[in-house]
Structure 1
Amino acid sequence: MTAAETTAQPTDAQPADGTAPAPALALPTIALLGAGAMGRAILSGLLAPTVEVDGPIRVTNRSAARAAELDGTPGVTASATDGDPEANRRAVAGARVVLVAVKPSMVVDLLDEIADALEPGAVVVSVAAGVTVATFEEHLPSSVSVVRSMPNTPAVVGRAVTGISAGTRSSDDDLALVRRLFETVGTVVEVPESQLDALSTISGSGPAYVYLLIESLTEAAVQKGFTDAQAAELVNGTFAGAAELLVASGKTPTELRIQVTSPKGTTERAVAVLQEAGLPELFGRATDAALARARELAAG
């Protein structure tokens, strides 16, 4: 086979007839209320080439400047509530899925604002930490279903772990639709709502725990004479490589740790210090504290 013949062969991305590949995922009309960090991370997944959304995604935000940042983005119409009091109601009219990604303190007022503008059969998805399904359902008509979600910040790079929980009015189809939506930014775990706050203390807050460990190990490297740039390269590369190996190997963290920890070696001595400091118990206390705070938020 010649080079020219090789080039002419169809690929997975290019059908034999030369037409554009079909999207891997089709989603219905979507409104995204709130264009903060998490809202934009979800939006980036929805705008991936493999995703086809029915009509432009209607995005609203309080700030005109923030809405203007999305001007000209293909597949998006953005508006600001500061200059257009009807922006939220117009965004949700006719939308099959409505993502509520505003700050928790703003949720109830927003739900009251959009309640009678929602289409019967719409699925309202909470992306607001600590706000319960009961709160959403109390402020929305019975013709609308609710699904609560807890994504995390790696959604920005398509590596989120998102927890989702069904509401009392949501169907299996509703939950499957929300699962497909969040799979555009990573993996999805379905749990009862009673477990969602606990999930938030693991995957939701988890990136912060990892960054704190990276900060601490980087500082240790600097103290041992490495420059800031060298320390960052050593530590960031080590964390990234270790995480990738964990995924690729199919082994447990314990198995991989034992592989690195030679008997009577340097790593064994270091790990012993961390274990003597009660690291597992410390993570237990930290996640308990996060869970207590989540319950405080849920209680208002």
Structure 2
Amino acid sequence: MGGAILEGLRAPEVRIDGPITVTTRSAASAAAFDGADDVRAFASETDPEANRIAVRGARIVILAVKPWMIHDVLREIAGDLEPGAIVVSVAAGTTIASMEALVPAVNPVVRAMPNTPSVIGKGVTGIAGGVAADAEVMDTVRAVFETVGRVLAVDEDRINAVAAVSGSGPAYLFLFVEEFVAAAKRLGFDDDAAKLLAEGTVAGAAALLESSGEDPAELRRRVTSPKGTTEQAVLVLQSGGWADLFDRALAANIRRSEELAAG
């Protein structure tokens, strides 16, 4: 996810005041940025001070590490943060209060929940601010994540729900496509034909949904002629209890975020 955000910030139409500094674990990863005039890279395996060096002078510090690493990284860099620098975490289950306790009070903390379509500039990101995150801070963070897609600001008590819907959402769609391809193969299509039919249909339908601006229920109705073949398939799908299934799936997702927050 950090790579997706970096690509968004480096897009030709995006103006950044000053260089972008990144840290990676390996020297090989850091070397991949060699020759990029707008990026400085440090590797923690060769420079133990990499994270501390990277945050010095930064206006925004984005922590794109695993949830269990967030607090350790904050303890490491807290003394090197510039006064007023915004700290943004993209980790699930790590509360704002727990992060605020580790950084100076003058450093606003914001949680962000992006998703993987950010890699192609089609992401959806939820953001929630802490005590010191005023409107200007939130506008700054919004501008960062708008480089990779759309942004929705919420209260922190809704951020786990954002993660359940949009953060994990691509996985649900990919699972649907997996099953759709498998069903096509059971109808006798070979691998290539099944993928063409199922994946192409899902990608095309998603593009139509986005470009048309129509409600998905309306688009479905336009394809579903009364007493026709599509209607018969839709009735079978609806009889499977999708509403309850989605409710239970999202509840399980939120429950896991709460478990992560509880340690």
Same fold (TM over 0.5): yes
Output the CA distance in 2 between the equivalents of 1:217 and 1:204.
22
Q: What is the TM-score when the length of structure 1 is the normalising length?
A: 0.86
Deviations 1:248-272 (A, max 9, x none): 2222111111111111111111111
What are the residue-to-residue correspondences of 1:96-175 with 2, within 5 Å? 96-175=59-138
For residue 108 of structure 1, give the secondary structure of its aligned residue in structure 2. helix
- The answer on 1:45 being equivalent to 2:5 is no
* Distance in 2 separating the partners of 1:61 and 1:167: 27
Structure with bigger gyration radius: 1
Alpha-carbon distance in structure 2 between the residues aligned to 1:72 and 1:230: 42
Structure 2 counterpart of 1:84: 47
Match of 2:181 in 1: 218
**Match among 232, 236, 250 for residue 269 of structure 1:** 232
Alpha-carbon distance between aligned partners in 1 of 2:26 and 2:71, rounded to the nearest angstrom: 19
Quote the Cα distance in structure 1 between the aligned partners of 2:21 and 2:15: 14
Distance 2:245 2:131 in 1: 36
Identity of aligned residues (%): 56
- Which residue of structure 2 aligns with residue 244 of structure 1? 207
Give per-residue Cα distances to partners, 1:6-32, cap 9 Å, x unaligned. Answer: xxxxxxxxxxxxxxxxxxxxxxxxxxx
Tell me how far apart the structure 1 counterparts of residues 72 and 172 of structure 2 sit (CA, whole Å).
33
Match of 2:142 in 1: 179
C-alpha distance in 1 between matches for 2:243 and 2:27: 46
Distance 1:192 1:78 in 2: 33
5+ unaligned residues in a row in structure 1: which ranges?
Answer: 1-37
From 63, 69, 82, the equivalent of 2:26 is 63
Q: C-alpha distance in 2, partners of 1:93/1:186? A: 28
Unaligned runs of 5+ in 2: none
Higher relative contact order (CA 8 A, sep 6+): 2
CA RMSD of aligned residues (A): 0.9
What CA deviation, in whole Å up to 9, does each residue of 1:125-180 have, x standing for no partner?
A: 11111111111101001111111100000000000000001111111100000000
Aligned residue pairs, count: 263
SS at match of 2:196: helix
Amino acid aligned to 1:224: L
**Match for 1:195: what amino acid?**
R
Q: TM-score, normalised by structure 2?
A: 0.98
